[in-house]
Amino acid sequence: MKIGVPKEIKTNENRVALVPGGAEALVAAGHSVMIEKGAGEGSGFSDEMYLAAGATLGKDADTTWGGADMIMKVKEPIAPEWPRMKKGQLIFTYFHFAADQTLTKAHMDSGAVCVAYETVELPSRELPLLTPMSEVAGRMAVQEGAKYLEKLYGGRGVLLGGVPGVPPAKVVVLGGGIVGINAAKMAAGMGAHVTILDLSLERLRYLSDVMPANVFLLYSNRHNILEQIKSADLVVGAVLIPGAVAPKLIRRED
């Protein structure tokens, strides 16, 4: 198979879909890999590293897309890339189609075969390609939230872990999945008072066994959510419905 890896052009997207080690493994398996020049630079991988792994370099996006049976990307193709898609071409990336009707229609019209990373499931119903990004998202949510609680960034001057004589911040996490558990771990590790809400009692029982003592668990319903956000310093939305738009659990007027 001819595999093309174009450079990501979405704003502030610095990742690359294939690292040099992955390119080497695909070449060893008999495939050909073309990396667009400069595609790996934002992630710290030079063109020379890909050449050493057995890949070739595409001089531009048109070249990389044009000769490929399969395109590997990180983010969904955006409007300038749509004309490059062709019928029967396999496109493997994060799509999140449920959130964008225009994007969905453009890909249907192209005739390309689109496989969304976020919907690939194991027999156990785990999402192996979404899990690493969810781990990052959960941890980053608390890291960014802590920053924006600082006065310098318009916050109330709240320190997540508090100090002797001052109580810690209250962090509310909506959802006890991969994003939620990583957000809770990060917030708890910083000393915050953490509450996780989830619909699954089985999941809450599991979290009860693995979470530290400063993490508290509640069944998720409208009443409990409203009660918790009244006194929350930081709220993390961590609810996932695979292949669908995440539900809006908090309204602006709340």
CA distance 16 to 58: 14
- Assess contact for 233 and 156: CB atoms under 8 A: yes
SS3 annotation, the chain: CEEEECCCCCCCCCCCCCCHHHHHHHHHCCCEEEEECCCCHHHCCCHHHHHHCCCEEECCHHHHHHCCCEEECCCCCCHHHHHHCCCCCEEEECCCHHHCHHHHHHHHHHCCEEEEHHHCCCCCCCCCCCHHHHHHHHHHHHHHHHHHCCHHHCCCCCCCCCECCECCCEEEEECCCHHHHHHHHHHHHCCCEEEEEECCHHHHHHHHHHCCCCEEEEECCHHHHHHHHHCCCEEEECCCCCCCCCCCCCCCCC
Spot the catalytic one: 96, 107, 193, 223: 96
Q: Is 96 a catalytic residue?
A: yes
CA distance 244 to 119: 10
Active site residues: 96
